Amino acid sequence: MAGSPRVGVLALQGDVREHAALLAGLGAEVALVRRPEELASVDGLVIPGGESSVIDKLSRTFGMQEPIRDAIAAGLPVYGTCAGLILLADEVLDGIEGQQSFGGLDISVRRNAFGRQTESFEMDLDVPALGEVPVHATFIRAPIVEGAGERVEVVASLPDGRIVAVRQGPLVGTSFHPEVDGETRFHELFLAGVRERTSRR
């Protein structure tokens, strides 16, 4: 589609296809990103859910860690879900030995804050930034944001106050998986940031 934003989905591990399909449905030109030259060709990046420690290791194996860090520092819009949120956090409180993140979000995240896969759950969340209709959120071995800096906007929290969605400039992160439920509004928020950045060029 002419004039569509070109966005990448980091395709090292995780629920890549779900994000790619949702983004394509919103009119984006979607590229699967595994190499630095593929990253250089996109105007925004989605880091999917999966295993944060595995994506971290593969990003280093494929020579992607530093290019992603550099792109984030240069203002690339990035949306991370679940493991993607962990990888965008400046601090991972309970990572496995040697685990690293890309960083960019001034937050502290705890992995698997709700326990094992069997502790996964769904609920409706009030997200005022996305309108009055609640967001149906699916949490699968989800992380929690335990600390957020002054520059971080808290977009959604659980009823007990624990933070599950944040935004900082062109970076968006959610503990849950909108792509699983066909919920498009977080991806639309991300794409708005992509379009804003490309329009300034």
Q: Report the percentage of the chain scoring pLDDT > 90.
A: 89
Report the pLDDT value the prediction gives residue 106, as an integer from 0 to 100: 98
User: 188: domain CATH number?
Assistant: 3.40.50.880
Q: What are phi and psi of 18, to 5 degrees?
A: -65, -45
Q: What is the pLDDT of residues 43-54, one digit of tens each?
A: 999 999 999 999
- Of the candidates 132, 45, 28, the one whose C-alpha atom is nearest the C-alpha of residue 80 is 45
**Residue span of the structural domain in which 82 resides:** 6-199
User: Predicted confidence band at 116 (pLDDT cuts at 50, 70, 90)?
Assistant: low
Q: How far apart are CA 73 and CA 95, in angstroms?
A: 22
Q: How would you write the chain as a 3-class SS string? A: CCCCCEEEEECCCCCHHHHHHHHHHCCCEEEEECCHHHHCCCCEEEECCCCHHHHHHHHHHCCCHHHHHHHHHCCCCEEEECHHHHHHEEEECCCCCCCCCCCCEEEEEECCCCCCHHHCEEEEECCHHHCCCCEEEEECCCCEEEEECCCCEEEEECCCCCEEEEEECCEEEECCCHHHHCCCHHHHHHHHHHHHHHHCC
| Domain annotation covers residue 93 | yes
| Domain annotation covers residue 1 | no
179 is catalytic: yes
Report the pLDDT value the prediction gives residue 120, as an integer from 0 to 100: 84
Span 181-199, mean pLDDT? 94
User: Predicted confidence band at 1 (pLDDT cuts at 50, 70, 90)?
Assistant: very low
Report the pLDDT value the prediction gives residue 2, as an integer from 0 to 100: 43
Task: Tell me the pLDDT of the chain averaged across its residues.
Answer: 94
CB 82 within 8 A of CB 172: no
Report the pLDDT value the prediction gives residue 199, as an integer from 0 to 100: 87
From the list 177, 183, 187, 188, the catalytic residue is 177
Tokens of 150: 């002054």
Q: What is the pLDDT of residues 153-171, one digit of tens each?
A: 999 999 999 999 999 999 9
196 is catalytic: no
Please tell me the total count of domains within the chain: 1
From the list 18, 19, 82, 183, the catalytic residue is 82
From the list 19, 179, 183, 187, the catalytic residue is 179
- All residues at 6 or more sequence positions from 15 whose CB lies less than 8 Å from its CB, including other chains: 48, 49, 50, 177, 179, 180
177 is catalytic: yes
- Measured in residues, the chain has a length of 201
Q: How far apart are CA 65 and CA 57, in angstroms?
A: 9
| Domain annotation covers residue 32 | yes
Q: How far apart are CA 50 and CA 6, in angstroms?
A: 23
